[in-house]
Amino acid sequence: MSPDQLPAPTAPRLRRPTWRDPRLVVGVVIVALSVALGSWAVSSAGRTVPVYAAAGTLTPGEQLGTDRLRTVDVRLGASIDRYLRADEPLPEDVVVQRVVDDGELVARGALGPAEAVEVRSVAVPVGSGVSDRIRKGAVVDLWFVPEAATGSKAAPGEPEALVSGVVVEQVDVADAGLVVATGGTLHVLVPTDELPSVLAALAAPGSVAVVPVAGS
């Protein structure tokens, strides 16, 4: 047979895809998953969760109650489990382990059992002229200032540092603006191993001075 007599080749006809075509089904599934994932990401980014924040400064040893907390709605994403959620019951048998400032979100890591708090509240009398920086939650140093012996012309002894970096738990003084006008009492949280020296200084002739730590 001569080449002129061979049948002419015919171009293959493309078939229109149908729902039975597995490639079409796979493509539709991929598109649907992409849309669903995008919608979930957008909704998750805009979702807020109610958590507890301190309604006033919280100090070590303080028990939690709804009267000491307020609810705020925040977006925390995966870190939400680090904080106390306001839509869940408050944990029982725990107290604050560190200072939580007013308005700060209450982290679960700031709480623990009462026996883990290694400080004790000590009342320290104060005179006039106390700085307004000395308030609940402030960090202060305690110094002992001895007084001269009665009838002695010798100068009183040098002030002595008692303990550094203790937290003010409570302030019982009359506030008159920039300074405290009259005397009162400060309650400070003293580490248990520092209690003997602080209590001895409070009983000795002289006074205990409360000095705020700069930057605290």
Q: What is the CATH number of the domain that holds 99?
A: 3.90.1210
Q: Which of 215, 60, 210 is closest to 141 using CA atoms?
A: 210
Mean pLDDT on 117-142: 86
How many Å apart are CA 87 and CA 103, to the nearest integer? 18
Q: What would the pLDDT profile of 11-44 be if each residue is shown by its tens digit?
A: 555 556 565 666 666 676 787 777 766 655 555 5
Tens-digit pLDDT profile for residues 183-206 = 688 999 999 999 999 999 999 998
Rg (CA), the chain: 35
Same domain, 94 and 174: no
Residue 102 near residue 160 (C-beta atoms within 8 A): no
Q: Residue 47 has what pLDDT?
A: 77
In a domain, 207, yes or no: yes
Domain count along the chain: 2
Please check whether residue 71 lies inside any domain of the structure: yes
Last residue in a domain, options 63, 96, 115: 115
State the residue range of the domain holding 185: 118-212
Lowest mean pLDDT of 112-126, 133-147, 179-193, name the range: 179-193
Residue-wise pLDDT tens digits, 37-75: 665 555 555 578 899 999 999 999 999 889 999 999 988
Indicate the pairing of strand 139-146 with strand 160-172.
antiparallel
Q: Which of 66, 92, 115 is the last residue of a domain?
A: 115
203 shares a domain with 127 = yes
pTM over 0.85: no
**Tokens in use for 53?**
């924040």
Domain end (from 99, 115, 131): 115
